[in-house]
Structure 1
Amino acid sequence: MTVSSTSSQVKGARLPWSGLLALSCAAFTAVMTELLPAGLLPAMAPPLDVAESRIGFLVTGYAAASFLAAVPLTAALRGLPRRPVLCGALLGFAVSNTLVALSSSYPLTFAARLLAGAMGGTLWALLAGCAARMVPAGRRGRAVAIVLAGITLALSLGVPAGTALAGAVGWRAAFATLAVLAVLLVGWIRLRVPAFPGEPAHARVPLARVALRPGVRPVLSVTLFLLLGHQVMYTYVAAFAEHAGYGRTDLLLAVFGTATVAGIWVTGVLIDRHLRHTLLAALALFSGALLTLGPGTARAHPLLVGAVALWGVAFGGAPTLIQTALVNASGPAEADVATSLQTTVYNAGIAAGSLTGGVALDSLGPEALPWTALPPALLALATVAAARRHAFPGRRHAVAPQGNAPVEPVP
């Protein structure tokens, strides 16, 4: 297939907006379910008769379950049709959030959160693969960007809105609302997301072989480095802002959230034609923001806010770019397995970044955080720059001749 014929087909193809938005809302629901307890520590602790720190463990438990469950559950469910697995994960969210809304027992609440984490690990492994299979190869990046925009909207708008809703009508009502939303999404997905088949047993590529594909390993490495560097700063941004004499952490986070929306919009425009260069620019922007914050210039508050905005633009687009590169490297038919590996690496990066940032904060002080985050950010940039043949090629991709084969660059 020539580049011109591929381009004309892609240009004429219409995106299946309803199905993609359903998947985006599923991503929104997953992020809301994961992070909502973090904004409700004082409200949830007395009814459950525990300290606020134990409510924080509800987020930790979710992440741990997602980390542990993503690969084995995805591997076990590879043979099943994709749409029922998606719906089952959402019904798992509905059950979990219903239990949290009704429970007065901390152990039961924690168990419900573990269920939600396992469902989250399964859901994240499916979303990008389903989006990629719904569109021609030349629209794959934009489709993934639409789906992953649900993450950005949850972080920038959903979590603050959920916290406000909990303040107005109670935290139990907020979790019940998420349960209802998950059930409604099941109906939407059944109507608008195609019934993609699972992988027949004879056609399944072993998980280890997917992981060892040349293009997959660099993408997973970039995922780890980016999340490690990002989480060093994001987890302790309040301590860094306080050290800089900037007392409005809420405003700083609002700037970051708004900038991520801009970042994912720019990414959606550029991703299908310029994935490699857009990702290089995003990682360079993140590194530049850290270099701006490092020398103590954060005490100049306009520079602090500006650097955080640049960081938000970079981070808004980078995960979508990396996810699309992973789908291209693995092939859409094996994207679920590859994405389950990425989910595990993603959560490992979050945990490692939070731990590394905490050690740096305790031993060296808040001013060391940008310098601690900079090396993994530069490693991510260097990995993308070096991996131009398989993982992050500079040229556009054609449709793969077989569903299980990775797409190859058009000569």
Structure 2
Amino acid sequence: MVITNKMPREKFPFLLLLAFTMVAFSAIITELLPAGVLPDMANDLQVRESSIGRLVSYYALGTVLTAFPATALTSGFSRKPLLITVIFGFFLSNAITALSQNYLLTVVMRVLAGGFSGVLWPLMTGYAARLVNEKNMGKAISMVMAGSTIALSVGLPIGAFLGQVIGWRGAFAGLSALIFMLIVWIAWKIPDFKADEKKINIPVKIFRMPGVPLVMTTTFTASLAVYVAYTYLSPIMVTNGIKDNAGLALGLFGMGAVPGILITARFIDTHMRSMLLSSILLGASVLFIISLAGHFYFVFYTCIVFWGISFGGLPSLLQTATINATNGLPEIGSSITVTVYNIGVFSGAFIGGLVLDYKGPDAISWTSFLLMVIVILLVVTGRRFAFPSR
């Protein structure tokens, strides 16, 4: 197959990008599955449930540690062999986890999977950008990131269901089988691209580019705001007198995320700033209403749907903003987004836990709302470089 730097297409390559959407979905399910099968996994490995919960953190730790250095070290490699190697790493780590009888080995596999994730996201974003012409770049990235958003929204319910039906080991084995099929699909259909020489190193000066620091700050704060509340959805429900049915809430969140993804994909290339502002304004409004009137069932669950809508396109919007701010360097821009976003995930869960312990569950949604207000202010001030009108 001919190796090129770009594959210009008049027709949008839906099926090619769908493969990356499925890979993104599988990666996020890999990240979240321990939380979905937590009790059974803890009993089987004879550890506390909190130890299984930390497996999600170990995965994110691997992602944070590898996103920047891996992008620099692998940028000189041909894209397709690297992509297949990375996805095979996911297959291997999940397969070994399914067979593991030892908690320490499971931890190592989680960190390994997270490390491959740090390589995967910048690599997939770069692929998406090269498979289309410039005017469709945002749409292509949105389609890839849709796999992440949908998996994040419904990943835990799916993981819990599979764990109940076939056991936690069967769930990991099934995920490995899905990933293996994706490897075959990509090896068969996806073209290869040469590395771009100008991306071999990540210069420190990239962080001084106009707009990059503000986009990074916004990405971190937005991720922080979301995960302060998302991680502790169950306590929020209980304190509002809503039956603790996190599965239903996550399902409604996922239903809302789908139109959010579709709307973002439609307008991201022409109205990115407006879409981003609309997303965070809607998210802030939802959190404000939950804080005031979340004890009404209809109000609470309606807000969850609209929260999903607000979140659906957010990762794609932040990803595209970073790539634009880094002057169209997709791998570098994506590695920045992945690292900063995952630091926000860590911080959100940590700060949300502190709020829960010291202020109670009532304060969680208020904290998330105030953080979203900060995000709004950051986007408003970034009109010139970080989030220009398009």
Q: TM-score, normalised by structure 2?
A: 0.93
**Equivalent residue for 1:104?**
101
- Whether 1:25 aligns to 2:22 is yes
- Whether 1:379 aligns to 2:386 is no
SS in 1 for 2:196: coil
- The one-letter code matched in structure 1 to 2:304 is V
Which stretch of structure 1 is more off in the superposition, 371-380 or 278-287?
371-380
Q: Using the alignment, how far apart are the partners of 2:383 and 2:84 within structure 1?
A: 37
Cα deviation for residue 158 of structure 1 reads 4.3
Offset from partner CA, 1:314-350 (integer Å, 9 cap, x none): 1111111111122222244x22122112211111111
- Whether 1:342 aligns to 2:337 is yes
| Paired residues of 1:18 and 1:192 also in contact (CA < 8 A) | no
| Paired residues of 1:224 and 1:345 also in contact (CA < 8 A) | yes
1:388 to 379, 383, 386: 383
- The one-letter code matched in structure 2 to 1:361 is L
Cα deviation for residue 375 of structure 1 reads 2.5
**Equivalent residue for 1:398?**
none
1:40 to 37, 40, 46: 37
- Whether 1:266 aligns to 2:263 is yes
SS in 2 for 1:246: coil
- Whether 1:232 aligns to 2:228 is yes
Offset from partner CA, 1:178-233 (integer Å, 9 cap, x none): 22222222222233333121133x66453312232213222211110111111111
Q: Using the alignment, how far apart are the partners of 2:141 and 2:275 within structure 1?
A: 15
| Paired residues of 1:210 and 1:338 also in contact (CA < 8 A) | no
Cα deviation for residue 237 of structure 1 reads 1.1
| Paired residues of 2:122 and 2:332 also in contact (CA < 8 A) | yes
1:192 to 166, 171, 189: 189
Q: State how 1:7-406 maps to structure 2 within 5 Å.
A: 13-200=10-197, 204=200, 206-247=202-243, 248-295=245-292, 297-332=293-328, 334-395=329-390
Which stretch of structure 1 is more off in the superposition, 154-163 or 167-176?
154-163
Cα deviation for residue 378 of structure 1 reads 1.5
Q: Which runs of 5+ in 1 are unaligned?
A: 1-9, 396-411
Q: Using the alignment, how far apart are the partners of 1:158 and 1:293 within structure 2?
A: 23
| Paired residues of 1:128 and 1:327 also in contact (CA < 8 A) | no
Q: Using the alignment, how far apart are the partners of 2:120 and 2:199 within structure 1?
A: 22
Q: Using the alignment, how far apart are the partners of 2:152 and 2:348 within structure 1?
A: 18
Offset from partner CA, 1:339-375 (integer Å, 9 cap, x none): 1122111111111111111111122211111221123
- The one-letter code matched in structure 1 to 2:273 is R
CA gap of 1:314–1:21, structure 2 versus 1, over 3 A, is same
Q: Using the alignment, how far apart are the partners of 1:57 and 1:299 within structure 2?
A: 31
Which stretch of structure 1 is more off in the superposition, 372-381 or 133-142?
372-381
| Paired residues of 1:129 and 1:327 also in contact (CA < 8 A) | no
Offset from partner CA, 1:95-133 (integer Å, 9 cap, x none): 101111111111111111111010011101212221111
- The one-letter code matched in structure 2 to 1:382 is L
- The one-letter code matched in structure 2 to 1:88 is T
Q: Which runs of 5+ in 2 are unaligned?
A: 1-7
Cα deviation for residue 306 of structure 1 reads 2.1
CA gap of 1:192–1:221, structure 2 versus 1, over 3 A, is farther
- The one-letter code matched in structure 1 to 2:275 is T
Percent identity of equivalent pairs: 39
Q: How many residues align?
A: 382
Q: Using the alignment, how far apart are the partners of 1:300 and 1:160 within structure 2?
A: 24
- The one-letter code matched in structure 2 to 1:389 is R
Q: Using the alignment, how far apart are the partners of 1:227 and 1:134 within structure 2?
A: 28
Q: Using the alignment, how far apart are the partners of 2:89 and 2:271 within structure 1?
A: 37
Q: Using the alignment, how far apart are the partners of 2:115 and 2:199 within structure 1?
A: 26
Alpha carbon RMSD of aligned pairs, Å?
Answer: 1.8
